[in-house]
């Protein structure tokens, strides 16, 4: 067992984990943050997307120990429970950018990174950036519309 200390959604957490534990399993099984989903467990679907020091990562491919001393943001930490939704969350609702909802947390986390990293300047650029996040239901038209809608609002959030 190894000790890992990280900041998850603004809260410092310290726990003992098996060194082979993925960040996804640490979040879901040890911290009960189940927003990030285990889709493929091979880094191919994007359902497990979270932010590590502000950059999107596939948490299924990231060891929990790699988050030592770093900041992790999950869908649960994107907005406070008492406050309004993050502009991207609201845009996903407004543009019906989800169907079954399984991929939605990962889609939203990737979409926020897409905007923050400056890749939301055109539908083609958004499609390319978001290509690592799969939606079996096919909500891609709504997802692109949501990102285009939220992008200018995120500067104010």
List, in order of start, the domains of the chain with CATH numbers: 2-77 (3.10.20.30), 87-154 (1.10.150.120)
> What would the pLDDT profile of 120-147 be if each residue is shown by its tens digit?
999 999 999 999 999 999 999 999 999 9
Output the pLDDT for position 81.
Answer: 85
d(CA 41, CA 46): 9
Choose among 70, 30, 37: nearest CA to 51: 70
d(CA 148, CA 45): 22
> What would the pLDDT profile of 20-44 be if each residue is shown by its tens digit?
999 999 999 999 999 999 999 999 9
> What would the pLDDT profile of 64-111 be if each residue is shown by its tens digit?
999 999 999 999 999 988 889 999 999 999 999 999 999 999 999 999
């Amino acid at each position: 067992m190894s000790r890992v200390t990280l900041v998850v959604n603004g809260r410092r957490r310290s726990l003992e984990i098996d060194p082979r534990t993925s960040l996804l399993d640490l979040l879901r099984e040890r911290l009960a943050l189940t927003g990030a989903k285990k889709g493929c467990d091979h880094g191919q679907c994007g359902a497990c997307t979270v932010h590590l020091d502000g950059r999107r990562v596939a948490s299924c491919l990231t060891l929990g120990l790699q988050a030592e001393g770093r900041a992790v943001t999950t869908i649960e930490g994107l907005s406070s429970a008492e406050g309004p939704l993050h502009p991207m969350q609201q845009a996903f609702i407004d543009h019906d950018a989800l169907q079954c909802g399984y991929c939605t947390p990962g889609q939203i986390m990737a979409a926020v990174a897409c905007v923050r990293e400056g890749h939301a300047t055109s539908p083609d650029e958004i499609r390319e950036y978001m290509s690592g996040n799969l939606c079996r239901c096919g909500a891609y038209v709504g997802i692109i519309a949501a990102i285009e809608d939220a992008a200018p609002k995120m500067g104010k959030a």
